[in-house]
Amino acid sequence: MVSINKLKNNKNKIKLGLYIMIIFIIVVILSFIIYYRNNILPVSINNPKDISLEIPVGSSPNKIAAILKEKGLIRNELIFKIALKKNNDEDKLKAGYFTLNTGMSLKEIIAEISKGGENKNVQIFTIPEGYELRHISEKLSDEGLVDKDEFLKLTSDKKYFEDKFSFLKELNEGQSLEGFLFPSTYEVYTNSNEKQIIEKMLLQFERIYKKDIKENMNKMDLSLNEIVTLASIIEREAKRDDERELISAVFLNRLKIDKPLESCATVQYALGERKEVLDSKDTEIQSEYNTYIHTGLPPAPIATPGKKSLVAAVNPADVDYLYFRTKEDGTGAHTFTRTYEEHLNADPNK
């Protein structure tokens, strides 16, 4: 039989071990905090020097950290990357020629690079949310950045880029890049070719996908293609950010009961034009993109969704709505209802 004293000794040893572990953890945390604070300070406060450098277009945070460390502008590459992630500044850094100073703190350096540097060889373009490939090709062609036919050829089939972007392997054979050229503002060299511009946009989609979509896909019974397709419909239907998750829920609820989505946006895509008002003939068009006559999602995205629509697609609101209609108050808001009768009787002005 184990003596009481022995049991007490064992308990005391366990307590002592826990205390030591807690103290160790506290020491480690405090040490890291001190280390972090020291490494975000300027490299040289007493004898600051101006340093010129170039951050090439397409540079990753890792590449930028290496450049800054090589130039003697930051103390530690890892701390620089942690600071970026901590403040969500990873996607804000811009290319160009900069003159920075060794007397600048890490925060000041990040803020300066986020403004963008001088570079006469760089051209900036913006792709809005909800654009289709045809719109993107026209815009880039008008701005003198691409040959429209070459751009459309390269985006017509994922095969041209799937060796470099693994997420494209999840799409259907022969599928185009519709929906996967992420809408954003980009900087490219003026002599960039179509392939380089497309890769830059795919890279931005990949970043958003890995950061905000991939983990949440586990709770969805949908493939990547289906999620982006749903997000593209949300993008085209939603006019307000506060309704994206509600619209996502409506379409997902319809999918669950095998009810046609009846999205006007999909019909517009099938028509090849964005008519303000659809008539009954339009909703009868024979197309696999017509969600009035076909159940389920269309075979592929109908436009390029932004981050908010992508996030809404994998984070639907917890509601049982099956219908929504536009309010006639000029706000772009919708009225959401559960039954067809409620939908028909919904006051468009409330």
Per-residue pLDDT of the chain (350 residues; tens, 9 = 90+): 456 666 666 777 787 778 888 888 888 888 888 887 888 789 888 888 889 888 887 789 999 999 999 999 999 999 999 989 888 888 888 888 888 999 999 889 999 998 877 666 778 899 999 999 999 999 999 999 999 999 999 999 999 999 999 999 999 999 999 999 999 999 888 889 999 999 999 999 999 999 999 989 888 999 999 999 999 999 999 999 999 999 999 999 999 999 999 999 999 999 998 988 888 899 999 999 999 999 999 999 999 999 999 999 999 999 999 999 988 888 889 999 999 899 888 766 65
What letter does residue 210 receive in the DSSP assignment?
I
User: Which stretches of the chain are assigned E, i.e. beta strand?
Assistant: 50-55, 96-101, 122-126, 185-189, 323-326, 334-337
Q: How far apart are CA 302 and CA 179, in angstroms?
A: 7
Contact in structure between 291 and 261 (CB atoms under 8 Å): yes
How would you class 268 by CB atoms within 10 Å of its CB: exposed for 0-12, middle for 13-18, buried for 19 or more? Answer: buried
Q: How far apart are CA 81 and CA 66, in angstroms?
A: 10
3-state secondary structure of 323: strand
Q: Which residues pair with 55 in a beta bridge?
A: 96
What is the predicted pLDDT for the residue at 116?
Answer: 77
pTM of the predicted structure, to 2 decimals: 0.70
Q: How far apart are CA 254 and CA 245, in angstroms?
A: 14
Region of residue 213 (phi > 0: left; psi between -120 and 50: alpha; otherwise: beta)? alpha
Q: How far apart are CA 141 and CA 64, in angstroms?
A: 30
What is the predicted pLDDT for the residue at 40?
Answer: 79
Token pair 């001088």 in the structure block, residue: 118
Chain CA centroid to CA 122, Å: 24
Backbone angles phi, psi at 340, to 5 degrees: -65, -35
Q: Within the chain, how many helices (H) and strands (E) appear?
A: 12, 6
Q: How far apart are CA 3 and CA 349, in angstroms?
A: 81
Structure tokens at 180: 């996967």
Structure tokens at 214: 């991939």
Name, in order, each residue with C-beta under 8 angstroms of 45's C-beta and a sequence gap of 6 or more: 103
Contact in structure between 311 and 230 (CB atoms under 8 Å): no
Contact in structure between 239 and 185 (CB atoms under 8 Å): no
Handedness of CA 57, 306, 113, 40 (dihedral sign): negative
Which residue spans of the chain are classified as CATH 3.30.1490.480? 50-115
3-state secondary structure of 2: coil
Backbone angles phi, psi at 348, to 5 degrees: -65, -10
Whether CATH 3.30.1490.480 fits 50-115: yes
122-213 to CATH, choices 3.30.420, 3.30.1490, 2.40.230, 3.30.1360: 3.30.1490
Handedness of CA 256, 258, 259, 265 (dihedral sign): positive
